[in-house]
Amino acid sequence: MGAQLLSFLNRLKSLVHTNRISLASRSVNRQSLLRYELAESDIHAVLLSLTPENYFRGPTPDHAGYPGDVMEFKAPVCGVIFYIKVRIWSENEQDQGVTISFHEDFI
């Protein structure tokens, strides 16, 4: 798992640096962003700060059947633990990503 996790984190950080990652438009994500007054740059900072210590579980296939690997993390944001779920896939030989979940941890 160690090498696979490190590879995923490296891919994730590359996606952030090249602005090829989006945030899923889910009400739970929007509510957390509003509640904690978070901007896209704050989300990117959290994603860039993720380390193996933040690992929760994965990789797993996407529940909705989309291609790619899903990894889940938990990390402190604004003094509370956030649940962060990210999917990365390759399209035309280039990585793409989506942050499926970015909200307070209630799992």
Tens digits of residue pLDDT in 34-61? 999 999 999 999 999 999 999 999 999 9
The boundaries of the domain holding residue 39 are 2-104
Q: Could you report the per-residue pLDDT of 17-32, keeping only the tens digit for each?
A: 999 999 999 999 999 9
- One DSSP character per residue, 90-105 reads EETTEEEEEEEEEEE-
- pLDDT for the residue 13: 98
- pLDDT for the residue 107: 66
Query: The domain that contains 59 carries what CATH number?
Result: 3.30.2310.40
State the chain's mean pLDDT as an integer: 95
Q: Count the domains in the chain.
A: 1
What pTM, to 2 d.p., does this model score?
0.95
Q: Residue 27: CA atoms inside 13 Å, Cβ hemisphere, count?
A: 0
Which structure tokens are listed for 7? 């590879």
Do residues 47 and 12 lie in contact, with contact meaning Cβ atoms separated by under 8 Å? yes
Q: Give the strand pairing for 55-61 and 21-23.
A: unpaired
Indicate the residue type of 43: I
